[in-house]
Amino acid sequence: MGITTQEERGFASSVNSVMWRLPNSATTIIGGMILQTGKYDLPFYLATGFYVASVVLFYANFRKISPQK
């Protein structure tokens, strides 16, 4: 939140929350379907790949931005 103005922080927090919760709701269904097939390790591998990708993308997008004081 340090890179947004005081007036924009509520909106930025809302967008951040939606960006996390929408995929969570979809992946719950997908994860259940994968587990139903008996491939119990596949969701862990997929989650690891998605988390690595999100960290790389987050770093690539925000590495040059410093917080406002």
Q: Model confidence at 19, in pLDDT bands (50, 70, 90)? A: confident
Residue 38 lies in a domain: yes
Its domain, for residue 52, covers: 6-62
Taking the model in full, what pTM does it have? 0.63
Tokens of 25: 């709701």
Dist. CA 62–CA 60, nearest whole Å? 6
Alpha helices by DSSP H, 1-69: 9-36, 42-62
Q: Based on the structure, what is the number of domains in the chain?
A: 1
Asked if residue 26 belongs to a domain, the reply is yes
Segment 21-33 shows an average pLDDT of: 89
Domain assignment of residue 40, yes or no: yes
Q: Mention every residue, 6+ apart, whose C-beta is less than 8 A from residue 43.
A: 31, 34, 35
Contact 2, 67 (CB under 8 A): yes
Q: Note whether 9 and 1 are within 8 A (CB).
A: yes
Q: Does 17 fall in a domain?
A: yes
Segment 31-67, tens digit of pLDDT: 899 999 999 999 899 989 999 999 999 899 888 887 7
